Amino acid sequence: MLIVKKFGGSSVADKDRIYNVARRCIEDYQAGNDVVVVLSAMGKTTDKLIDLAHSINSHAPKREMDMLLAVGEQISVACMGMAMHELGVPSVSLNAFQVQMHTNSTYGAAKLKRIDTERIRNELAMRKIVIITGFQGVNKFDDVTTLGRGGSDTTAVALAAALHADACEIYTDVDGVYTADPRIVPNARKLPEVSYSEMLEMASLGAKVLHNRSVELAKKYGVQLVVRSSLNYNEGTVVKESAKMEKMIVSGVASDKNVARISVMGVSNEPGIAFKVFNCLAKNKINVDIILQSVGRGGTKDIAFTVAKNDVEATVEVIKENMDVFTAESYEVEEDVAKVSIIGAGMTSNPGVAAKMFEALSTGGINIKMISTSEIRITVVVDAYNADRAVRYIHDAFALAE
Amino acid sequence: MLIVKKFGGSSVADKDRIYNVARRCIEDYQAGNDVVVVLSAMGKTTDKLIDLAHSINSHAPKREMDMLLAVGEQISVACMGMAMHELGVPSVSLNAFQVQMHTNSTYGAAKLKRIDTERIRNELAMRKIVIITGFQGVNKFDDVTTLGRGGSDTTAVALAAALHADACEIYTDVDGVYTADPRIVPNARKLPEVSYSEMLEMASLGAKVLHNRSVELAKKYGVQLVVRSSLNYNEGTVVKESAKMEKMIVSGVASDKNVARISVMGVSNEPGIAFKVFNCLAKNKINVDIILQSVGRGGTKDIAFTVAKNDVEATVEVIKENMDVFTAESYEVEEDVAKVSIIGAGMTSNPGVAAKMFEALSTGGINIKMISTSEIRITVVVDAYNADRAVRYIHDAFALAE
């Protein structure tokens, strides 16, 4: 078997954890497998490098920023090579130049284009564990790039695809994907399997186990992922094309408090106004999530939508500048709201799901402020102080702990 | 003009110093020159990385050690790029992969083989300041190497040679090369020029301004160096093939306290014994410096030599193991000794020089324990507590301050 194993920054934060990871890799190696390890930067290394950069230039050019940040993973892989050497197992560390991890030139958020697997295959053929820097690449100018958020997961998935790996294991500090956040719902249950689509919906809703980008790449190339903990040997969650849902319609409940509701009120009830609003926001690179438009009364109607909390300021600016264009009478900002969602591949073919969710919220006396649905997700916006209770009521109503 | 400027770790130790270096480079750039900057790792970065490595594996494999250490210079060049950007000047940082700084595979002490100058020339043609990592290279396997001690100086000289630079400036924390260490001899005088050979003798005798390796490379390729301070605009010292010595016979006095004298006594007075002693030491990679052999009296003689202090333990071990082979009766170790030398290209043609040096020592009541001479150097071994006094007496005797 060829196994790609990815460990995040907290899994290699210090000497003990580095040795812990080294031993786990060696177990697979000694069982006769080919092992490729992808590492993030140790602990807070990346944050420290960013602080250093900002101390020198608060608007550091992105090319130089990537040149700087890439050292973080190089430190990790070199240290891992030293640990494996101490444990008597042949290994080799490789950075993005050595692997020829080709990306485009979008510094800070580069997209992987192509990986030359020759060097990796040669090292594996010599029975070495191959330790590769996550998060980084090289562009056509031979310049260093970084992949941005979730970059190391993406590196691991891309390597698994390029090497036709038999397994791609993403190690994190949780055991896998749960039916709900165990900190909110103590009896939340770990899911043995989820589909790519479900994982994507969950990730976008605050279950930050895997970055969407890596899941999308895994889906595209059919790379089956396992999410598991580097701190124990519990079986993780398999993320694959079509997960057996054990006849479950709903696989999980997620909440997201990083949300604000903006209402633009009293706009003229004529065609094209909504277009103007959302076109303006899009031009300013503001991502709008849930949209609600009131039925017009008299000559006016209200348009409400949600944005991420850190986009509120920019959104308000756009609205203020365009009150006339939008024909708006006033606007309102509510920051004390949260999204609560149920996710499940079986949802579309089961019409009673939404009703059951709303019933659960009603039982809890929780008012629904907005509703949005997709093929495999139903989301409601509620007051922020109700979010955790909402998750628990819904988790109970669908008997997800069982 | 194409100018190569090299700055050591203390010159880029923090934000202020980085900006200081950036401004100096920009001055040359704005005067219309092409500027290539070579940087060492910031301040104590390399020491910290070595500590990290040793905490993981006290016998870290050298390949992984180089992979780790190379990040130090990459941090420096990226930060310098950010500073120059802030100052509004186009620049580009390049590491050893990007420059294709080819070396052999002796990890930790790699030798430069070839530099591809195409990328550098292209960047210069675009009127950018090119900032290059010192100390590091890549070998034929595409693996990271480091050049070892004095590595960044060597990088700078090699780049100056490959680019046919008009000037190669080595910035350090002293103003240049002095007739003696100004901390020992307050009226020591800065030399406007020294020859490569003199510089080599001085460096090996504790005037640690330039590492010998970079001077040897400069001599080989005829690269004229200037040693000067990054903290002021004083004219430095030019190091070149044949320095005008202003009719000076002796250009400087240097001392070295990192020395011990070992005596092997009562060895049999027959041919081949000295060979056995020094062959044994060479096999154990112990560098022997000054050698003195007593005239035999009776059937035995004594052999004395100096080694660096950190080689004493290994030397004693070799001698102990080979007392029989060496036919030795006993041995002695003296660690409280020092070498004091005068260096000067005009020495060979001036027979009175040695006599004048010995006279100066005699005036100071300083006993000479050993003597060694080369074409351009006379060295004596004295008691360590006499070393500084010896330097001052000699400096005065040759009127070097004038």
Taking an 8 Å Cβ-Cβ cutoff, which residues of chain B contact chain A? 15, 18, 49, 52-53, 55-57, 59-61, 63-65, 67-68, 70-71, 74-75, 77-79, 81-83, 85-86, 92-93, 95, 97-98, 119, 142-144
Domains (ranges, CATH) in chain A? 2-173 (3.40.1160.10)
CB contacts, 8 Å: B78 with chain A: 53, 64-65, 67-68
Q: Rounded to two decimals, what is the model's pTM?
A: 0.83
CB contacts, 8 Å: A81 with chain B: 61, 63-64, 67
CB contacts, 8 Å: A83 with chain B: 56-57
CB contacts, 8 Å: A97 with chain B: 97, 142
CB contacts, 8 Å: B85 with chain A: 57, 60-61, 64
In chain B, % helix, strand, coil (3-state, to 5) comes to 35, 25, 35
* Predicted local distance difference test score (pLDDT) of residue A71: 98
CB within 8 Å of B233: residues ≥ 6 apart = none
Beta strands in B43-154 (DSSP E): 91-94, 101-103, 112-115, 129-133, 136-138, 144-146
3-class DSSP assignment, residue B396: helix
* Predicted local distance difference test score (pLDDT) of residue B251: 85
Residue type, B399: A
| CA distances (Å), origin B307, targets B109, B281, B304, B341, B387 | 21, 10, 10, 16, 17
CB within 8 Å of A74: residues ≥ 6 apart = A93, A95, A133, B67, B68, B70, B71, B74
Closest partner residue to B57 (CB to CB) among A83, A97, A98 is: A83
ipTM of the complex: 0.81
Rounded to an integer, what distance in angstroms lies between the CA atom of residue B229 and that of residue B170?
A: 8
Rounded to an integer, what distance in angstroms lies between the CA atom of residue A171 and that of residue B178?
A: 59
**Can you give the length of chain B in residues?**
402
Closest partner residue to B61 (CB to CB) among A64, A67, A81 is: A81
Query: Where does residue B283 fall: left (phi above 0), alpha (psi -120 to 50 degrees), or beta otherwise?
Result: alpha
User: Tokens at residue A292, please?
Assistant: 């609600």
Contact: B83, A143; criterion CB under 8 Å: no
Rounded to an integer, what distance in angstroms lies between the CA atom of residue A76 and that of residue A45?
A: 10
Neighbours of A2 (CB within 10 A): 18
Closest partner residue to B55 (CB to CB) among A15, A119, A144 is: A15
| CA distances (Å), origin B264, targets B188, B294, B306, B329, B371 | 38, 11, 11, 8, 17
What is the arrangement of strands in the sheet containing A193-195, beginning at the earlier edge strand?
A91-94, A129-133, A34-39, A2-7, A167-172, A225-229, A237-240, A193-195
For the CA atoms of A114, A118, A121, A126, the dihedral, rounded to the nearest 10 degrees, stands at -150
pLDDT by position in tens, chain A (length 402): 999 999 999 999 999 999 999 999 999 999 999 999 999 999 999 999 999 999 999 999 999 999 999 999 999 999 999 999 999 999 999 999 999 999 999 999 999 999 999 999 999 999 999 999 999 999 999 999 999 878 999 999 999 999 999 999 999 888 898 988 888 899 999 999 988 988 888 876 666 778 888 999 999 999 999 999 988 999 999 999 875 655 567 889 999 998 999 999 888 877 778 888 888 888 888 888 888 877 767 778 888 899 999 899 999 999 999 998 888 899 999 999 999 999 987 776 677 788 889 899 999 999 988 888 877 888 899 999 999 999 999 999 998 888
* Predicted local distance difference test score (pLDDT) of residue B243: 58
pLDDT by position in tens, chain B (length 402): 999 999 999 999 999 999 999 999 999 999 999 999 999 999 999 999 999 999 999 999 999 999 999 999 999 999 999 999 999 999 999 999 999 999 999 999 999 999 999 999 999 999 999 999 999 999 999 999 999 878 999 999 999 999 999 999 999 888 898 988 888 899 999 999 988 988 888 876 666 778 888 999 999 999 999 999 988 999 999 999 875 655 567 889 999 998 999 999 888 877 778 888 888 888 888 888 888 877 767 788 888 899 999 899 999 999 999 998 888 899 999 999 999 999 987 776 677 788 889 899 999 999 988 888 877 888 899 999 999 999 999 999 998 888
Contact: B98, A61; criterion CB under 8 Å: no
Task: Determine the residue of chain B that is closest to A52 in CA distance.
Answer: B79
Contact: A82, B15; criterion CB under 8 Å: no
Task: Determine the residue of chain A that is closest to B131 in CA distance.
Answer: A64
CB contacts, 8 Å: A73 with chain B: none
Rounded to an integer, what distance in angstroms lies between the CA atom of residue B13 and that of residue A399?
A: 60
| CA distances (Å), origin B262, targets B278, B331, B371 | 12, 7, 15
* Predicted local distance difference test score (pLDDT) of residue A348: 67
